[in-house]
Chains A and B, each alone.
Chain A
Amino acid sequence: MSVLEIHGLHVTVETEQGTKEILKGVDLVIREGEIHAIMGPNGSGKSTLAYTIAGHPKYTVTKGTITLDGEDVLAMTVDARARAGLFLAMQYPVEIPGVTNTNFLRTAKTAISGEAPAIRTWVKDIRETMTKLRMDSSFAERNVNEGFSGGEKKRNEILQLELLKPKFAVLDETDSGLDVDALKIVSEGVNRAAENTGLGVLLITHYTRILRYIKPDFVHVFVAGRVAEEGGRELADRLEEEGYDRFLTEANVG
């Protein structure tokens, strides 16, 4: 049983005004097969948490631990984290000129499984997954995310999620900017991955609407760099009605 554990995490970034602490003591434990929703207002540090788990060099961990099955994630390079089974679907996926999606996916798959995938099944896997995500086959030969619309980029993230089969995926506002059809398609992809591989999910979102399609086991309300409240699915319903105002007032006082 795989487990991703975050304890007492403090993270800073360098800004023009100097060092700024963004995460102020985050505790989270995600087990294989669990879906955790992290909900919070803009600027509360959700992306910072996502990037820190993935190892983005801009973010400095000053205190706390992240472990994957007991292994120290913070000691690993970005690529080693991915090979250990972590995946980040980015809020703003990056365009890579000169590299086709096909070439990228094959290189990533080879890096993660330590050997090149068997050609026949791999090509079939890509084709089938793209079809399920309603991605035109031309996206295979296009450069990674180059000229993709916002929604196409998000689907491309989920394509990678389904093909690379990580143990844990952090989805950073994968729902933002999607119309309802695209939202359903992307949600189905996440649910497939969860069913097929026992994926653990950290679903970061600003809105509750994706939770109609992806049912979280746990909901964490994230405010001002820490978890302000935790509960089950019912907490999301309450947020949908009340918004974040209650928490923002508390945060201002604190």
Chain B
Amino acid sequence: MTAASTSTALPTAEQHGIKEHSDGRFGFVPVQTRSARFRSTNVEDFPAVTGREAVWKHTPVDRVGSLISGELDGSAYAYDATPADGITVAWVGRDDARIGVAGAPEERASANAWSAFERALVISVTGEEAKEFTLTRSALGTGARGAHTIIEAAPFSQATVILQNSGSAQLTENIEIILGESANLTVVSVQEWNDDALHLANHFASVGRDARFKHVAVSLGGSVVRINPSTHLVGSGADTEMLGVYFADAGQHLEQQVYVFHDGPHGRSRVTYKGALQGEGARTVWIGDVLIGPDAVGTDSYEQNRNLVLTDGTRADSVPNLEIETGDILGAGHASATGRFDDEQLFYLQSRGITEDEARRLVVRGFLSEIVQQIGAPTLQERLQLAIEAELSAVPRAGE
């Protein structure tokens, strides 16, 4: 029926076991904290991927080999953009000063993209009025690509930036998101790729003092889609809401490795990801790392992942990790649960007069819409509700 586990961590100094990590000069360096992971923008600095690495062990590396170690096309690509006051889009060279401000690769596919991109696409947000902007990428083609994007929100600016991804793609990319003081930025990345698409993305956000950053990852379409957003709460009082919703069908691998680094004091973070799985080989992975650094006093943090399993033959991995390096916090907790929608639930709903189709829609819509409703972009929300219903109507019913 329903298997659930919920836990709330108490603040302790070291949550992780000490793992060995080879490093030429020191023999081995114990890597306890997420912030101490090796980083480099050069792909040659990363050894060949075996699939046993922490960052790769849940990913079908054989399916994304072209993105990890293949040659990438790093040229500019075509996109569509809805014009909005206070938002500009431009290609810039590799020497642009903003590149590398928010983060650097921690794994090989990310570094491969970084080494390969020829120009970076910069989306600049200014102006205090709320506005919505959509950048659509629907013609990336079937060749392996590396890309770099910068989304920069000026101090006190406000916007919702939607990255709408569809069509074919073999894409590894880095997106740097820079929030100035008191900026209020929402970034939504929607993956509605074709069935054969491969997409590995790393989002690096740097959040300034009193800024509010909402990040939403919506993954519905694609063969292997891995979105790894990391948010660095740098300034005092920085706030992040990291949301995710995903729906994996037969054979689909949808993964998200979410990381929040509470560096500055009085930060707040909420991570909430919800996913549904249906069909043979539907696979989802959620890893949630929260690191509360020694200076992050007064931190208030909570992360959770919930999965709804609709059929047999699926697998959902859910791994919350919490490391706390200061005792002086408001709160930190995590929860993870994977529940099954089974025949008994269907029978129960039907025994109250509800048809089988309606019963399934009721459960899945109710479950996922909790996230969709929080996006804050009404037109997109409406469209995503329909897209989720469309996923559902593709459900092969039990026993048919």
Contacts and interface: CB of A to CB of B under 8 A. Distances in A.
* Co-complex (A, B): yes
Contacts of A90: 348, 351
A95 B1 contact: yes
Interface string A88-104: 10100111111110011
A111 B367 contact: no
B339 A97 contact: yes
B347 A104 contact: no
A87 B368 CA distance: 29
Given A104-B362, A107-B358, A111-B355, A96 B349 contact: yes
A88 B348 CA distance: 9
A160 B353 CA distance: 12
A112 interface: yes
Interface string A64-96: 000000000000011101110001101001111
Nearest to A88: B351
Given A94-B348, A95-B1, A79 B362 contact: no
A208 to B, nearest CB: 27
A97 B362 CA distance: 10
A111 B347 contact: no
A93 B347 CA distance: 11
A42 B188 CA distance: 56
Given A95-B2, A96-B345, A97-B308, A103 B352 contact: no
B366 interface: yes
Contacts of A98: 308, 363-364, 366-368, 370
B341 interface: yes
A193 to B, nearest CB: 15
Given A98-B366, A107-B358, A107-B362, A78 B1 contact: no
A139 to B, nearest CB: 16
Contact of B353 (A95, A97, A103, A111): A111
Interface residues of A, number: 29
Interface string B335-359: 0000101011101111111111010
Most chain A beta-carbon neighbours within 10 Å: one of B350, B364, B367, B399: B350
Contacts of B306: 97
Contacts of A103: 362, 366
A82 B363 contact: no
B136 to A, nearest CB: 30
A6 interface: no
Contacts of A83: 353
B341 to A, nearest CB: 7
B349 A160 contact: no
A85 B363 CA distance: 24
Contacts, number: 85
B354 A108 contact: yes
Given A97-B308, A103-B362, A107-B362, A77 B353 contact: no
Contacts of A79: 350-356
Contacts of B343: 57
Contacts of A77: 350, 356
A79 B2 CA distance: 23
Most chain B beta-carbon neighbours within 10 Å: one of A57, A78, A95, A104: A78
B342 to A, nearest CB: 9
B85 to A, nearest CB: 39
A77 B358 CA distance: 14
A98 B364 CA distance: 7
A76 to B, nearest CB: 11
Interface in B355-380: 355-356, 358, 362-364, 366-368, 370
Contacts of B399: 57
B351 A97 contact: no
Nearest to A86: B351
Interface in A4-61: 54-57
A54 B349 CA distance: 12
B247 to A, nearest CB: 13
A108 B359 CA distance: 10
Given A98-B308, A103-B366, A111 B352 contact: yes
25 contacts: A54-B347, A54-B351, A55-B351, A81-B351, A82-B351, A82-B352, A87-B351, A90-B351, A93-B348, A94-B344, A95-B1, A95-B2, A96-B363, A97-B306, A97-B339, A97-B363, A98-B308, A98-B367, A98-B368, A99-B367, A103-B366, A104-B362, A111-B353, A112-B352, A160-B352
Closest 8 CB pairs of A and B: A98-B367, A82-B353, A111-B353, A108-B352, A78-B350, A94-B348, A98-B366, A112-B353
Given A57-B343, A100-B366, 13 more contacts: A57-B399, A79-B354, A82-B352, A82-B353, A94-B348, A97-B308, A98-B366, A99-B362, A99-B363, A107-B354, A108-B352, A111-B353, A164-B352
